[in-house]
């Protein structure tokens, strides 16, 4: 067994020990095919007010600019699919499933730091950085390159064994490892369920999302008032949106996660529409103390709830 093969075996063993569902390896190199796609996407202003997406163009495409001497991009999948959806009443306020429990950035980043420590214990000094939806890393493209799935029509990574309700994370390291083969096939076929279901027509063509029209963008990233053209189109989503994932046939393979940190706050499970409307900043701080929902701040979440309810009257 070559040293690259041995390193691959070690990487995959540690991933299993830390509870990651899948682990894929890609060679750290310039993402040549992605460069024109990213440029066109930015030129069409599909990023909306997410101006940070236009920053560090070269770093997004070249991992050696993030970790000098990088040889390997390790992509990891971590399940967040909940045992039960909230709320049980379909007419109530909804949060994206990834936001039910503690902020995934913090939970997974701790695992990745442990991963790097375990790797150094077994192999010796290596240079590397960990990423969880942070820094300019094109995580879906790296995961596809590492054989973990394909980019679906909703632009998310789809995995044949577990759909798309998972987080992606990366380690970029200066360690040589044997790469996995990318999937040679797109398994979406002729299905257009996600495109048909999107109430704001954000999926402008297969695999391309106009971020400025996406409900997740409107409820989280947009800092000003939600444009009136989206009245009646949020379908009760107050933080994020799961519509394109909920209708995806591949998500019939989703199984409940085993991560205690992702369980919802007990009070959140009991929330009624009236509770959402009457929520105080004190309640917001208590229920969402460790949650990704803090990103909208109290005022942002109230804005979203008021926008949703103003369209019902």
Of the pLDDT bands very low, low, confident and very high (cuts 50, 70, 90), residue 51 is: confident
State the binding site.
60, 133, 154, 157, 168, 188, 191, 194, 198, 214, 216, 223, 241-242, 244, 248
Please give the mean pLDDT across all residues of the chain: 94
Does residue 32 surpass a pLDDT of 70? yes
Does residue 49 surpass a pLDDT of 90? no
- pLDDT tens digit sequence for 242-292: 999 999 999 999 999 999 999 999 999 889 989 999 999 999 999 999 999
State the binding site for tRNA.
223
State the binding site for cob(II)alamin.
60, 133, 154, 157, 168, 216, 241-242
- pLDDT tens digit sequence for 156-178: 999 999 999 999 999 999 999 99
Report, as an integer, the average pLDDT of 239-244.
98
Instruction: Give pLDDT, residue 233.
Output: 96
What does the block give as tokens for 3? 């040293």
Max Cα–Cα distance, the chain, nearest Å: 68
Residue 282 to residues 278, 287, 298, 299: CA-CA distances in angstroms?
11, 9, 9, 12
Does residue 232 surpass a pLDDT of 80? yes
Report, as an integer, the average pLDDT of 134-147.
92
State the binding site for [4Fe-4S] cluster.
188, 191, 194, 198, 214, 241, 244, 248
Report, as an integer, the average pLDDT of 88-117.
94
Q: Which of 85-89, 150-154, 168-172, 283-287 has the lowest mean pLDDT?
A: 85-89
Dihedral angle sign, alpha carbons of residues 172, 176, 178, 181? positive
For 81, the domain range is 1-313
Question: Do 154 and 235 touch, CB atoms closer than 8 A?
Answer: no
Higher per-residue confidence, 209 vs 56: 209
Percent of the chain with pLDDT over 90: 84
Instruction: Give pLDDT, residue 55.
Output: 79
Of the pLDDT bands very low, low, confident and very high (cuts 50, 70, 90), residue 28 is: very high
Does residue 123 surpass a pLDDT of 80? yes
Instruction: Give pLDDT, residue 16.
Output: 98
Instruction: Give pLDDT, residue 1.
Output: 78
How many other C-beta atoms can be found within 10 angstroms of the C-beta atom of residue 203?
A: 23
Residue 27 to residues 174, 176, 181, 195: CA-CA distances in angstroms?
10, 8, 10, 32
Nearest by Cα to 166 from 254, 106, 103, 293: 254
Does residue 313 surpass a pLDDT of 70? no
Instruction: Give pLDDT, residue 52.
Output: 76
Q: Which of 62, 91, 103, 133 is catalytic?
A: 133
Does residue 307 surpass a pLDDT of 80? yes
Instruction: Give pLDDT, residue 46.
Output: 84
Instruction: Give pLDDT, residue 217.
Output: 96
- Structurally, the chain folds into a number of domains equal to 1
> Known catalytic residue: 174?
no
User: What is the distance in angstroms between the CA of the first residue and the CA of the last residue of the chain?
Assistant: 68
């Amino acid at each position: 067994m070559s040293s690259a093969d041995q390193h691959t075996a070690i990487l995959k063993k540690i991933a299993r020990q830390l509870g990651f569902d899948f682990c894929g390896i890609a060679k750290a190199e310039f993402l040549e095919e992605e460069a024109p796609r990213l440029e066109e996407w930015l030129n069409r202003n599909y990023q909306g007010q997410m101006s940070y997406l236009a920053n560090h163009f070269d770093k997004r495409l070249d991992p050696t600019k993030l970790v000098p001497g990088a040889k390997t991009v390790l992509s990891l999948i971590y399940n967040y699919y909940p045992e039960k959806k909230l709320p049980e009443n379909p007419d109530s306020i909804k949060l994206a499933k990834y936001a039910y429990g503690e902020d995934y950035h913090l939970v997974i980043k701790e695992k990745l730091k442990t991963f790097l420590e375990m790797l150094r214990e077994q192999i010796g000094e290596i240079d590397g950085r960990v990423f969880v939806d942070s820094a300019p890393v094109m995580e879906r493209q790296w995961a596809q390159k590492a054989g973990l799935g394909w980019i679906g029509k909703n632009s998310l990574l789809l995995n044949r064994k577990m759909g798309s309700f998972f987080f992606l994370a990366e380690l970029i390291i200066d360690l040589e490892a044997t790469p996995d083969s990318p999937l040679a096939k797109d398994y979406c076929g002729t299905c257009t369920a996600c495109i048909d279901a999107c109430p704001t027509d954000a999926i402008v063509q297969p695999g391309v999302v106009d971020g400025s029209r996406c409900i997740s963008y409107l409820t989280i990233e947009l800092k000003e008032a939600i444009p009136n053209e989206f009245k009646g189109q949020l379908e009760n989503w107050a933080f994020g949106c799961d519509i394109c994932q909920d209708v995806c046939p591949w998500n019939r393979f989703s199984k409940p996660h085993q991560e205690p940190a992702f369980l919802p706050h007990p009070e959140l499970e009991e929330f009624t529409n009236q509770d959402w409307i009457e929520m105080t900043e004190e309640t917001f701080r208590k229920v969402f103390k460790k949650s990704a929902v803090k990103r909208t701040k109290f005022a942002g979440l109230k804005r979203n709830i008021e926008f949703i309810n103003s369209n019902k009257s």
